[in-house]
Amino acid sequence: MWLSKKIIFLQTLLCFFLVGISCKRLTEHKFVVKEAHYRRLCSKKPILTVNGHFPGPTIRVHHGQTIYVNVHNKGKSNITLHWHGVKQPRNPWSDGPEYITQCPIKPGGKFRQKLIFSCEEGTLWWHAHSDWARATVHGPIFIYPKKGESYPFPKPHAEVPIVLGEWWKSQVKDVYEEFLRTGGTPNTSDAITINGQPGDLFPCSKSETFKLNVHHGKTYFLRIVNAAMNIIFFFSVSKHNLTVVGADGGYTKPLIRDYIVISPGQTVDVLLHANQKPNHYYMAARAYSSVFGLPFNNATTTARIHYKRNHAPTNSPPLPYFPDYNDTNAVLDYYVSLKGLTETYPHEVPKHITTHILTTLSINTLPCRKDQTCAGPNGTRLTSTMNNISFNAPSIDILEAYYYHINGVFDRGFPRFPPLKFDYTAEYLPLDLEIPKKGTKVAVIKYGSTMEMVFQGTNLVTGIDHPIHVHGFSIFAVGYGLGNFDKEKDPISYNLYDPPLINTILVPKNGWAAIRFHALNPGMLHGKIPLFS
Ligand SMILES: *[C@@H]1O[C@H](CO)[C@@H](O)[C@H](O)[C@H]1NC(C)=O
Ligand SMILES: *[C@@H]1O[C@H](CO)[C@@H](O)[C@H](O)[C@H]1NC(C)=O
Ligand SMILES: *[C@@H]1O[C@H](CO)[C@@H](O)[C@H](O)[C@H]1NC(C)=O
Ligand SMILES: *[C@@H]1O[C@H](CO)[C@@H](O)[C@H](O)[C@H]1NC(C)=O
Ligand SMILES: *[C@@H]1O[C@H](CO)[C@@H](O)[C@H](O)[C@H]1NC(C)=O
Ligand SMILES: *[C@@H]1O[C@H](CO)[C@@H](O)[C@H](O)[C@H]1NC(C)=O
Ligand SMILES: *[C@@H]1O[C@H](CO)[C@@H](O)[C@H](O)[C@H]1NC(C)=O
C-alpha cells in the first residue's frame, strides 16, 4: 500500500518533469458517493450522488491516458462504479459491474479504480453498476485527442455536456424494490431531464432550465449521454440540423439529421451550427416506445439555446420536430445511416469468423411464489433471458472465481445457439415457452477469436426494443433487421466496409442485430437487458 502510493507519487513527479504539459489533466480523482438534497418538480428529496452533484462530475482525459479514481462509499448501500465504454485492456478488475468483476463496495468502504484509456476518443460516461443507483449516480467522460492532435472536424467554439436522465418523485430505491417485489413493470419516471433539469414544460423548473448561450456563426460540440434507466430518446433542436460526428467514444462519418436516436447507455457527439436567426430555440428529447399498451413516460424535456445578440426573443419558442413515439422506421433508418470513420479505425472489421454466437433476448414469466401476489401478466413474475437463461447473481464475482479457480460459482455451459428453435417473432407463441431456466452460465472464448454475435429479439410475453451493452470491447455494428435472423441471407447485406464502432447496440423489437469484434481483451464480458433485468 505504502509502496504503491510512493510509486504513484514518483510517477506523477517524473511525468511532471519529463513530459511537462501532458500531465496537466488531473490523473487522480476523488469520488465520494453520498446523499444530497435536490429540489425537482416542486419538492425536495435526498438522492444518491457523487460529490453531491447530479449529474456527477465530468472526467476529462486525453486519448491514451491512464487515471485513477478513488471511490469512497459514504452512502447506506453497497455500490460499484462502471466506466461505460472504457475498454480497460488487461485490466478487467476495475471495470465495476457487481458480482461480475468485483464484489460491491460496502458502506464506509473504499476502492481505488485504475482507468486505462487506450483507443477511445469522443464521449463516454460512468455510472453506478448496482441495483438502480445509476439513475442518479452518473456523469460524462470527455476523451480529447492526444496532445498536439486534432479532431477529424474543425475545432468547435465550445464543448457542452448534454446528459439525458430520468427523475422519480419517489426514492429510486423504492421504485426498484417494488419492481423486484411485485414482478411487474417498474413505475415509469415522473420527469425526463437535460443536465438534471426537466425544463420549461414541467412545473417549478423554468428558472433552472439548462441554457446554452451561443454566438451566431459559431459551432458547438454537444456531447450527449443517455443516462436514463429505460428510455430510448429522440433528440432534436428546433430549426437546426444536427451533424453527428461520433458515437460511443469513436468517430463516425458526418451524418446530418433533424433528429437523432440515443438508447440507454449510448453517447452521441453532435456539432450544432448556430446559423439561424438570432432568437431563443429549444433543444428537446422525448421517448421512442414501440410496444402498444406498455406504459411509458411520454413527456418532453427541454433546454434553451439563446443567441447572444440584441433581439426580441419569442416568448414561447416552438418545440422541435420529433418522429412519432412508435416510429420504428425512424429509429432503424437513423442507426443504419450511421457509418464509422474508417480512417480512424484502430483495426479492421473481422472478415473470417472463428466463433459464432446467436442468442435470443426475451421477456419471460416465472410462477409467483405461493405466499405472494405478482403484478406480471396473469399473476406471474416478469424476468428476462438470453438463450432462455435467466441470470442468477453469484455469491462472489465471476472474474475472481475464474482467476483463482474457485469452483461452484458459475458454469461454463452458456448455449451458443438458442436451445430451442421456434418462430421467434411470431405474433402468437405457446405460453409454455415463456418459462425460463435459471443459471449463472458463462461462454468461455479463446483469446484471439474473431467473434460474431447475433442478438435475436423474441415476441415471448411481448416483443420489445433491447439496448445491449458490451463491456471490454468496442464492437462493429454490422447489421440490423426485422423478423427472424436468416444465417444464409442476412449476412449478405452486412456492412463490413464502414460499420460504426460502438459499445451499445439497439436490437429492434421483433428483430435482430449483428456485431463483430476481435476477442483480444481477457476478462469478463457481460451483456445486460436493461428493462426487466
Ligand atoms: C454488500 O457487499 C458485500 C460484499 O462486498 C456482501 O457480502 C453483502 O452481502 C452485500 N450486502 C447486500 C445487502 O447486498
Ligand atoms: C408506483 O405507482 C403506483 C401507482 O401509481 C403507486 O401506488 C406506488 O406508490 C408507486 N410506487 C413508488 C415506489 O413510487
Ligand atoms: C438541414 O439539412 C437538410 C439536408 O441537408 C437541408 O435541406 C436543410 O435546409 C437543412 N436545414 C437547416 C435548418 O439547416
Ligand atoms: C401522455 O400520456 C397521458 C396518459 O398517460 C395522456 O393523457 C397524454 O395525452 C399523453 N401525451 C401525449 C403528448 O401523448
Ligand atoms: C403508432 O401508434 C398509432 C396510434 O397511437 C397507430 O395508429 C399506428 O399504427 C402506430 N404505428 C406503428 C408503426 O405501430
Ligand atoms: C426454456 O426452458 C424451459 C425449461 O426447460 C422450457 O420449459 C421452455 O420451453 C424453454 N423455452 C425456450 C424458449 O426455450
Ligand atoms: C394470460 O392468460 C390468458 C388465458 O390463458 C392467455 O390468453 C394470455 O396469453 C396469457 N398472457 C400471458 C402474457 O401469459
Cross-strand partners of 141 = 59, 124
Return the residue whose CA atom lies nearest to atom 3 of ligand 6.
436
Q: How far is the CA of 378 from the centre of ligand 7 (A)?
A: 6
**β strands within 24-171, DSSP E:** 28-40, 43-50, 59-62, 66-73, 81-84, 110-116, 122-128, 138-144, 158-167
Return the residue whose CA atom lies nearest to atom 3 of ligand 2.
187
Question: Which residue's entry shows cell 423486484?
Answer: 180
User: What phi and psi, each to the nearest 5 degrees, are found at residue 516?
Assistant: -130, 145
Contacts of 344 (CB under 8 A, 6+ apart): 121, 152, 250, 251
Which among 296, 326, 509 is the best mutation to test ligand 5's pocket, defined by most ligand atoms within 8 Å of the CB? 326
pLDDT for position 205: 86
Which among 43, 178, 180, 190 is the best mutation to test ligand 2's pocket, defined by most ligand atoms within 8 Å of the CB? 178
Q: How far is the CA of 485 from the centre of ligand 6 (A)?
A: 20
Which among 241, 243, 255, 279 is the best mutation to test ligand 3's pocket, defined by most ligand atoms within 8 Å of the CB? 241
For 126-139, give the secondary structure using H, E and C. EEECCCCHHHCCEE
Q: What CATH code is assigned to 355-527? A: 2.60.40.420
pLDDT for position 7: 33
pLDDT for position 85: 97
Return the residue whose CA atom lies nearest to atom 8 of ligand 2.
187
Q: Is the peptide bond before 145 cis (omega within 30 degrees of 0)?
A: no
Judged by DSSP in three states, 427 sits in coil
**From CA 17, how far away is CA 12, in angstroms rounded?**
9
Q: How far is the CA of 175 from the centre of ligand 2 (A)?
A: 7
Neighbours of 341 (CB within 10 A): 18
pLDDT for position 4: 36
Residue 408 exposed, middle or buried by CB count within 10 Å (0-12, 13-18, 19+): exposed
Q: Which three cell numbers, joined as nine digits, stand for 82? A: 462502471
Atom of ligand 2 nearest to the CA of 174: 13
Contacts of 6 (CB under 8 A, 6+ apart): none
Return the residue whose CA atom lies nearest to atom 8 of ligand 6.
433
pLDDT for position 495: 97
Domain with CATH 2.60.40.420 in the chain: 27-144, 158-337, 355-527
The residue count for the chain: 533
The pairing of beta strand 211-214 with beta strand 300-307: parallel
Atom of ligand 5 nearest to the CA of 290: 14
Q: How far is the CA of 325 from the centre of ligand 5 (A)?
A: 8
pLDDT for position 379: 96
Contacts of 312 (CB under 8 A, 6+ apart): none
10 lines ligand 3 (CB under 6 A): no
533 lines ligand 2 (CB under 6 A): no
Q: How far is the CA of 411 from the centre of ligand 5 (A)?
A: 43
Q: State the CATH class of domain 27-144.
A: mainly beta
- Ligand that lies nearest to the alpha carbon of residue 439, given by its number in the listed order: 6
pLDDT for position 237: 98
Contacts of 207 (CB under 8 A, 6+ apart): none
pLDDT for position 141: 98
pLDDT for position 526: 66
157 lines ligand 1 (CB under 6 A): no
Q: How far is the CA of 296 from the centre of ligand 4 (A)?
A: 10
Contacts of 456 (CB under 8 A, 6+ apart): 358, 359, 360, 361, 418, 424, 484, 485, 507, 512
- Ligand that lies nearest to the alpha carbon of residue 397, given by its number in the listed order: 1
Q: How far is the CA of 132 from the centre of ligand 3 (A)?
A: 40
Spatial CA neighbour of 496 closest among 481, 519, 476 = 476
pLDDT for position 463: 96
Atom of ligand 7 nearest to the CA of 461: 13
pLDDT for position 2: 33
Contacts of 260 (CB under 8 A, 6+ apart): 224, 234, 235, 236, 242, 244, 268, 270, 334
Q: HSE on the CB side for 532, CA within 13 Å?
A: 24
Contacts of 421 (CB under 8 A, 6+ apart): none
Which among 431, 433, 464 is the best mutation to test ligand 7's pocket, defined by most ligand atoms within 8 Å of the CB? 431
pLDDT for position 356: 97
The pairing of beta strand 355-366 with beta strand 450-457: parallel
Q: Which fold has domain 158-337?
A: Immunoglobulin-like (2.60.40)
> Which pTM value belongs to this model?
0.94
The DSSP line for 235-288 is EEETT--EEEEEETTEEEEEEEES-EEE-TT-EEEEEEE--S-SSEEEEEEEEE
Atom of ligand 1 nearest to the CA of 105: 5
pLDDT in tens, the chain (533 residues): 333 333 333 333 333 333 334 444 569 999 999 999 999 999 999 999 999 999 999 999 999 999 999 999 999 999 999 999 999 999 999 999 999 999 999 999 999 999 999 999 999 999 999 999 999 999 999 999 999 999 999 999 999 999 999 999 999 999 999 999 999 999 999 999 999 999 999 998 878 899 999 999 999 999 999 999 999 999 999 999 999 999 999 999 999 999 999 999 999 999 999 999 999 999 999 999 999 999 999 999 999 999 997 677 667 788 999 999 999 999 999 999 999 998 877 778 999 999 999 999 999 999 999 999 999 999 999 999 999 999 999 999 999 999 999 999 999 999 999 999 999 999 999 999 999 999 999 999 999 999 999 999 999 999 999 999 999 999 999 999 999 999 999 999 999 999 999 999 999 999 999 999 999 998 876 655 444 33
Atom of ligand 6 nearest to the CA of 422: 13
Q: Which three cell numbers, joined as nine digits, stand for 174? A: 423504492
User: What phi and psi, each to the nearest 5 degrees, are found at residue 114?
Assistant: -100, 125
Q: How far is the CA of 471 from the centre of ligand 3 (A)?
A: 37
Q: How far is the CA of 439 from the centre of ligand 6 (A)?
A: 13
Pocket of ligand 6 (CB under 6 A): 388, 419-420, 432-433, 435-437
Spatial CA neighbour of 357 closest among 132, 527, 170 = 527
Q: How far is the CA of 369 from the centre of ligand 6 (A)?
A: 19
pLDDT for position 362: 96
| Torsion sign (Cα): 188, 194, 197, 200 | negative
